[in-house]
Amino acid sequence: MFPDGFYATLRCRYADRRITWLRQDNAGQSAARNYGARAGHGMYLAFIDQDDCWYPGWLETALAALATGPASFVYCDVDRMDEAGQVTQQAFFGTSGRGTHPKQNLEDVIGQDCWVMPSAMFMRRARFLALGGFDESLAGCEDDDLFRRFFCADRCRFIPTPLVRWRQTATSASHLPRMDASRLRYWEILEATYSDGRAGSRRLLRHVIAPRFLRLFAGVYRQAAAARDLQRLTIARTGLLSVRPHLPGHLRLSLAVLLFMPMPLFTVWQDAAFNSHLYHRVMRVLGVR
């Protein structure tokens, strides 16, 4: 919800004939971006989240990167900043080890979080629309899903220079139930995509995708149990049960130990569970620290 006069104030502040103002009922960030992309007329698209900032020169650099080769998608490194806008980590991708940049193969894209933020994306509008834009069923991981489709269909380029400031705060959406639900939905999309029976798809699902989401859901399971958050715990348990059939035998067995205790008991006795040798051994096997 926005205060009365919000849009009028913005339109007055940014009175520029080059800006087209659009409104629609709240259908999520993916739907909003798609609506803007369809309404546009330019050759290129760049997104900016409300709490991020572009550095001067980002658009010119991105445009030059697309103009010098056959790529249809380019993204850059980012500087991380706090709530006050102060940079807390320069060249976040290059210094934190988050994700693999540039992406060399499909396993770099679907075997881990991509770490390709919408604010650091620049792409050809025609290809964005042809590939279906952002999946509107996702309210998180929609950036991973879009990049996956671009990577599989076209050529993508990475600019190692940080040209965007990305804001990460203690209240970021990564620990909200809707993000957990979206991660579960993205797992279902990947499961359906790579369950076509081909040997290569089976290998990716069993040894790349399923282990990634096993670690993710097991981590959420632990966080939710510690916080006694039954909503997040239920989502994580659903994800673990869905992932389990695709795992190697030793991981299925370890996961069965984790899922054996009913959820209410797990939240009540989580202190004892987290300090048990069995729990730590199971988490090590599952790859969760």
Q: Residue range 35-45: average pLDDT?
A: 93
How confident is the model over 114-167, as pLDDT tens digits? 999 999 999 999 999 999 999 999 988 999 999 999 999 999 999 999 999 999
* Bridge partners, residue 54, by sequence: 164
Residue 2, pLDDT > 90, answer no
What whole-number distance in Å separates Cα of residue 230 and Cα of residue 194?
31
What whole-number distance in Å separates Cα of residue 151 and Cα of residue 46?
17
At residue 162, φ and ψ (nearest 5 deg) are: -70, 115
How confident is the model over 91-100, as pLDDT tens digits? 999 898 888 8
Is the CB of residue 93 less than 8 Å from the CB of residue 107? no
How confident is the model over 196-247, as pLDDT tens digits? 878 888 899 999 999 999 989 988 888 887 788 889 989 999 999 999 999 8
Q: What six digits make up the tokens of 42?
A: 């330019």
Cβ-based neighbours of 40, under 8 Å, separated by 6 or more: 20, 125
The better pLDDT of the pair 56, 18 is held by: 56
Is the CB of residue 76 less than 8 Å from the CB of residue 163? yes
What whole-number distance in Å separates Cα of residue 217 and Cα of residue 220?
5
Residue 272, pLDDT > 70, answer no
CATH hierarchy code of domain 6-167: 3.90.550.10
Domain ranges of the chain: 6-167, 173-286
Indicate the pTM of the whole model. Answer: 0.86
Distance (Å) of CA 117 to CA 16, 146, 147, 156, 212: 27, 11, 10, 14, 19
pLDDT of 282 reads 59
Residue 87, pLDDT > 90, answer yes
pLDDT of 1 reads 41
